Amino acid sequence: MTALHTDLLVIGFGKGGKTLAAAMGRQGRKVIMVEQSDLMYGGTCINIGCVPTKALIHRASVRPPEADPRSWFADSVAWTGSLTSLLRKKNFDMLDSLDSVTVVTGTAAFIDEKRVEVTAGDDRLEITADTIVINTGAQPVVPDIPGLRDSAHLITGTELIGSSDLPRRVAVVGGGYQGIEFAAMLSHYGAEATVLERASRVLRREDEDVAEAAEKILRDQGVTFVTGADVTRVTDSGDTAVVHYEANGTAGSLEVDAVLAAAGRAPRTAELRLDAAGVRTTDTGAVEVDQYLRTSRPHIFAVGDVNGGPQFTYISLDDYRIVADQMAGEGKRSTADRVAVPYTLFMTPPLARVGMTETEARATGRPVRVAAKPIAAIAAMPRARILDDVRGLMKFVIDAETDAILGAALLSVDAQELVNTVALAMRSGVTASSLRDAIWTHPSSTEAFNEVLANVVR
């Protein structure tokens, strides 16, 4: 067995890990990056996450009416595959071009708290490191439903975006953000998508009026929703699967070509042998970390989805900043510094949110005002009409005493960009009145803030 020593060992090529490896390598530190598969250089986002899914969503939204849906889907998957291959190479080259960084492809597992074994076929490599960063990401969760895991028609999001075969009818098990995003995309490509959600409504983390507006857009697009649905079993029947469920006391079934498990993603730690290193995990299987992302072993950190935080690439990037500050800075930056972190559900138009919902804000007991307006009623937002999409709404939650923006839900064209402006305003202490009276370019979506924030409805 070959043995190596390094200053920094990063296990997993995700956003936080690769950025840290590059930064420390440029400082002259000896770094080893271990990635399990050469198809995952660059991490989840560019290979099986944000980039391919959003690329497919975009391609779905621009499908010409005359284009055959199945052919368009196959072409879109091929185009997306070329894009991810390009980005994967760029990410590999980013590290491979640094003399002090070595990329190793294989499966890593701890021997003890200082030593890690990497295997690839019959090859074995033992690495000791002063600092170790776990960055193995997360993997799709397949619910424990009788017959589902054994079904020949089960697919995950990872498998969906890598297959050129568009299912004609799809049951989406899970009505959270992942399920809604995939259902919206499949519907745009012409598939019949049915979302089965156990809760009484989809998007239950959103205010009811926002969730209803999003659901209406999707229903009008052709997505079917069955809420209060408990999926009891899945049975294969030749070329199709039958999904059996109970909804509000009534039994039902759905015959489909594919069953998409969209119940979220769980931290990937099974192969790591964390117990050998004395690294603790949480009840959900995530690597337990403190606010500085240190594990129960001070020289071992965990960044990205594996540490149980919000599963966003930009959170992984901020994780890098925290660990880099521990390794080469003042050691002050922490997860406690994060304020007004936005997120976006990429349906069409996108739903973006930051801060508290109205429900959450009122639960605090503080006096709250709400400014809201349907996009179709906003005169000062001609961009939506230029793009021929006036669906959705904008909603701001405001502290009635301080005029601080407590949160916003933006369901509109360009919402994925607008929400960043609102988040920056919240972090900088910009009031709702200041955002209302700001000068914005025209015609833009941002100028809608002038009108919406002048419309306090309750």
Range(s) for CATH 3.50.50.60 in the chain? 2-139+266-337, 154-263
Average pLDDT, the chain: 95
Give the CATH number of domain 154-263. Answer: 3.50.50.60
pLDDT at 65: 86
pLDDT at 213: 97
Banded pLDDT at 456 (limits 50, 70, 90): confident
Banded pLDDT at 1 (limits 50, 70, 90): low
- Binding-site residues for NAD(+): 174-181, 197, 264, 305
Task: Give the end-to-end CA distance of the chain in Å, rounded to a whole number.
Answer: 69
Alpha-carbon span 394 to 350, nearest angstrom = 12
3.30.390.30, 3.30.70.100, 3.30.200.20, 3.40.50.720: which CATH number matches 343-452?
A: 3.30.390.30
> What is the bridge-based pairing of β-strands 405-411 and 393-399?
antiparallel
What are the residue numbers of the active site? 442
Alpha-carbon span 455 to 395, nearest angstrom = 10
Range(s) for CATH 3.30.390.30 in the chain? 343-452
Q: What is the pLDDT of residues 107-146, one digit of tens each?
A: 999 999 999 999 999 999 999 999 999 999 999 999 999 9
Banded pLDDT at 458 (limits 50, 70, 90): low
The CATH H-level superfamily of 2-139+266-337 is FAD/NAD(P)-binding domain (3.50.50.60)
Share of the chain above pLDDT 70, in %: 100
Task: For residue 387, give the nearest of 412, 406, 351, 360 by alpha carbon.
Answer: 412
Predicted model pTM: 0.93
- Binding-site residues: 54, 174-181, 197, 264, 305
Task: For residue 398, give the nearest of 407, 386, 389, 411 by alpha carbon.
Answer: 407
Q: What is the pLDDT of residues 313-364, one digit of tens each?
A: 999 999 999 999 999 999 999 999 999 999 999 999 999 999 999 999 999 9
Examine the pLDDT at 189 and tell me if it is beyond 70.
Answer: yes
Alpha-carbon span 188 to 63, nearest angstrom = 8
- Binding-site residues for FAD: 54
Backbone angles phi, psi at 372, to 5 degrees: -150, 150
Alpha-carbon span 438 to 450, nearest angstrom = 7
Task: For residue 214, give the nearest of 58, 416, 349, 376 by alpha carbon.
Answer: 349
Q: What is the pLDDT of residues 279-304, one digit of tens each?
A: 999 998 999 999 999 999 999 999 99
Beta bridge pairs of residue 141: none
Examine the pLDDT at 2 and tell me if it is beyond 90.
Answer: no
Tell me if 453 sits within 8 A of 365, measured CB to CB: no
Q: How far is CA 427 from CA 25, 255, 355, 404, in A?
A: 32, 48, 10, 10
Q: What is the pLDDT of residues 219-249, one digit of tens each?
A: 999 999 999 999 999 999 989 999 999 998 8
Q: What is the pLDDT of residues 362-396, one digit of tens each?
A: 999 999 999 999 999 999 999 999 999 999 999 99
State the average pLDDT over residues 409-416: 98
